[in-house]
Amino acid sequence: MSWIEGYKPEWVLEKDKAEELVKRWSKNWIGKSIDKTFVGWYEPDDSWYEDLPIILIIGGDRIEICWQKFDSLSITKNQIDINNCMSYEKKIPYKENAHQALNEAIGKKILNVKLGMSSMTLEEKIIPMINSLDFELENGFLTIFNALDENGLSNVPANV
């Protein structure tokens, strides 16, 4: 069950599976431009709702990107109805072109997409973690990163 009606995220957290996921999706994105963007909007605070998937319109498709926990990534297509997004029986508005980092990517051609990695040490064991989806754009970057169980956005390339 998902917290958004109709949305069926496919969470991956293993490096190999995440790389496979990004490779599969990115081959459809390379050479296309980001036409529009949407973020869930929390009306009481008039702010971006970081827990909800970020939506990029690429080649007419709604690409839904979302992070959860420390390193779980989901990329889906055309699952969220941005005009009627329901979560726990409440309508959640999706606002178009509402975040500065996303606005800077609009109209720019996608040149490359990479998976950003980091690691943490636990009991002397190094644990690799996926932490960002990095879009190299014509004259810029868009990084959608894991902000510890939320989505984060930046126009600075991650250290990959």
pLDDT in tens, 43-97: 888 999 999 999 999 999 999 999 998 779 999 999 999 998 887 788 889 999 9
Is position 1 within any domain?
no
Tell me the pLDDT of the chain averaged across its residues. 90
Is position 136 within any domain?
yes
Is position 42 within any domain?
yes
Is position 105 within any domain?
yes
- Residue 123 phi/psi, 5-degree rounding, is 50, 50
pTM for the whole thing?
0.91
Rounded Cα–Cα distance for residues 154 and 144 (Å): 7
Is position 8 within any domain?
no
Is position 80 within any domain?
yes
Q: Structurally, how many domains does the chain consist of?
A: 1
Is position 2 within any domain?
no
The region that residue 97 occupies, defined by phi over 0 for left and psi between -120 and 50 for alpha, beta otherwise, is: left
Residue 29: which domain range? Answer: 15-154
> pLDDT per residue over 3-55, tens digit each?
788 899 999 988 889 999 999 999 999 999 999 999 999 888 899 999 999 99
Task: Match 């072109």 to its residue by tokens.
Answer: 97
Is position 159 within any domain?
no
Q: Edge-to-edge, what's the strand order for the sheet holding 151-154? A: 110-122, 125-137, 140-146, 151-154
Q: Which helix (H) or strand (E) holds 154?
A: strand 151-154
